[in-house]
């Protein structure tokens, strides 16, 4: 019985191997797209800096989310405001070290403009971090409002930049 099954399998595979493979005529083939150009070392460094700065920005978002979710409880609200102040200081370190790696000259044409806009938004967040650190506990509402405006501008610039370099754009997180 085993020999018979083995023989059937062998016949079926050899018969399938002998069938000609249908070819697609040249006129119906899709135009081959050129392979994407690999990023240069400067572009990789820019993206690495953007990733590092993104860690700091994620910390800011976390602080804003904590303040926003604790409005009903006074004690939690004060703790969240204090934590926001600490996160602003920590975020500034990540954003500063990441921003130091970013050079808009790594890109050309309109992508360079969009890369520069991202850098300007990161610079804006870096400049606002000391104020956030100092005022978050005393004035959490106005501090979060100012940070929220800057974060939305950053997310818009980042979305445009990601689209320019061909990366999928992620939905912005609502702080």
> Cα-flanking dihedrals φ and ψ of residue 121, to 5°?
-70, -35
Residue 152 lies in a domain: yes
Task: Report the predicted TM-score, pTM, of the whole model to 2 decimal places.
Answer: 0.74
SS3 107: coil
Q: Which domain holds residue 84?
A: 41-164
Residue 124 lies in a domain: yes
Residue 126 lies in a domain: yes
Domains of the chain: total: 1
Residue 8 lies in a domain: no
pLDDT at residue number 30: 53
Residue 17 lies in a domain: no
Report the alpha-carbon distance of residue 96 to residue 104 in Å, rounded: 16
Per-residue model confidence as pLDDT tens for the chain (175 residues): 444 444 444 444 454 455 555 555 555 555 566 667 788 999 999 999 999 999 999 999 999 999 999 977 899 999 999 999 999 999 999 999 999 999 989 999 889 999 999 999 999 999 999 999 999 999 999 999 999 999 999 999 999 999 998 877 666 555 5
pLDDT at residue number 166: 85
pLDDT at residue number 1: 46
Residue 14 lies in a domain: no
pLDDT at residue number 10: 46
Residue 93 lies in a domain: yes
Report the alpha-carbon distance of residue 111 to residue 117 in Å, rounded: 10
């Amino acid at each position: 019985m085993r020999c018979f099954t083995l023989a059937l399998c062998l016949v079926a595979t050899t018969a399938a191997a002998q069938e000609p493979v249908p070819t697609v005529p040249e006129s119906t083939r899709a135009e081959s797209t050129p392979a994407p150009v690999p990023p240069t070392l400067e572009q990789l460094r820019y993206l690495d800096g953007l990733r590092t700065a993104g860690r700091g920005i994620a910390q800011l978002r976390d602080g804003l989310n904590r303040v926003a979710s604790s409005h009903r409880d006074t004690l939690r609200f004060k703790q969240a405001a204090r934590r926001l102040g600490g996160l602003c200081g920590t975020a500034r370190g990540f954003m500063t070290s990441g921003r130091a790696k970013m050079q808009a000259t790594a890109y050309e044409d309109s992508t360079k403009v969009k890369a520069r806009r991202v850098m300007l938004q990161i610079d804006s967040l870096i400049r606002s971090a000391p104020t956030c650190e100092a005022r978050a506990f005393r004035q959490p509402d106005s501090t979060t409002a100012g940070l929220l405006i800057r974060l939305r501008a950053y997310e818009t610039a980042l979305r445009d930049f990601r689209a320019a370099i061909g990366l999928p754009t992620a939905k912005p997180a609502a702080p």
